[in-house]
Amino acid sequence: MRRGIAAIAGSRIVGAERVKCSRRPILIQPKGAALARRLVGRTIDDVGRVGKRVVLRLDSGDRLIFEPRMTGLVLVADPPTTEHLRFRLDLAGGPIECIWYWDRRGLGSVRLLTDKDFAEKLGNNSLGPDALALAADDLKARLSASRRAIKVALLDQRAIAGIGNLYASEILHLAAVHPAKRCDKLTIAQWQAIHQHMLEVLNLAIQHEGSTLSDGTYRNALNKAGGYQNHHRVYDRAGEVCPSCGQKEIVRIVQAQRATFYCPHCQAARRR
Ligand SMILES: [Zn+2]
């Protein structure tokens, strides 16, 4: 998502508008005219990412944050539908004239934060370090005292930022760790395996521009499907034979209201 709009760095914002939408309204901050007033005329100095958010840093020091949650998209063109468009940014001085924020279910948000609010709301006290910047020792240090199930802990953005639900299942399958295993019961070798496969899964998913599941929701900035779903080993594959062992079928369970997929053979609870 970030790479898809990276070319807007250096562009000037010439318009910012909430799009009239009959669907459940999303969170857009600040309310009223203040948003456009603080955006229009500003230059985008940087297009970054913090965990699962795209962050535009402006020359005023403000940050414009797109948080897509379940069904949000950042698009440069060709929205999948017009009725779910939520926000538009008009640009000048660069190759892209307009970006959209689109959200079908409307759980995502668009927020403009000052430097200070950004540090408070998305700084180290509220959000963990990015998963891709985390050393193996740090991963263990941050989670190993917890009694929570490892799958649930990996999704805790305050501990580590950036791991989405489907990727947690993929990481644990490759690491051969049962998703319900308590963090404080994992061995050093298991932490190392989780760390190694966390980097592997996230980097490959980024390379393939994310996962577009059967509902077709996730699209890149050009409204094209991602490719990582073709690499899923367990996610959404309940009942299929495990690609690692070829012996057991993938099982679906629910942990903290989120679906988890694993192989009872490769990720056996007791043996591991
Ligand atoms: Zn297996």
**Per-residue DSSP letters for 109-164?**
EEEEE-HHHHHHHHSTTTS--BGGG--HHHHHHHHTT--SBHHHHHT-TTTSB---
Ligand 1 centroid to Cα of residue 183, in Å, is 21
Ligand 1 centroid to Cα of residue 267, in Å, is 7
Ligand 1 centroid to Cα of residue 245, in Å, is 4
C-alpha–C-alpha distance, residues 239 and 237, integer Å? 6
Ligand 1 centroid to Cα of residue 147, in Å, is 25
Say if residues 103 and 68 touch (Cβ distance below 8 Å): yes
C-alpha–C-alpha distance, residues 239 and 255, integer Å? 18
Amino acid at 47: V
Ligand 1 centroid to Cα of residue 262, in Å, is 8
Ligand 1 centroid to Cα of residue 143, in Å, is 25
Query: Residue 197: its pLDDT value, please?
Result: 98
CA distances from 171 to 175, 213, 239 (A): 6, 18, 19
Ligand 1 centroid to Cα of residue 239, in Å, is 12
Say if residues 54 and 1 touch (Cβ distance below 8 Å): yes
Question: Tokens 């990481």 appear where?
Answer: 171
Per DSSP, helices labelled H in the chain are 34-39, 115-122, 136-143, 150-154, 165-175, 188-207
Say if residues 262 and 242 touch (Cβ distance below 8 Å): no
Q: Is 257 exposed, middle or buried (0-12, 13-18, 19+ CB in 10 A)?
A: exposed
DSSP state of 249: B
Instruction: Give average pLDDT by consecutive 10-residue segment, the chain, 272 residues.
Output: 96 96 92 95 97 96 96 92 95 97 96 95 90 95 97 97 96 98 97 98 95 89 92 96 97 97 93 49
Query: Residue 271: its pLDDT value, please?
Result: 54
Q: Is 199 exposed, middle or buried (0-12, 13-18, 19+ CB in 10 A)?
A: middle
Ligand 1 centroid to Cα of residue 207, in Å, is 25
The pTM of this model reads 0.93
Query: Residue 272: its pLDDT value, please?
Result: 44
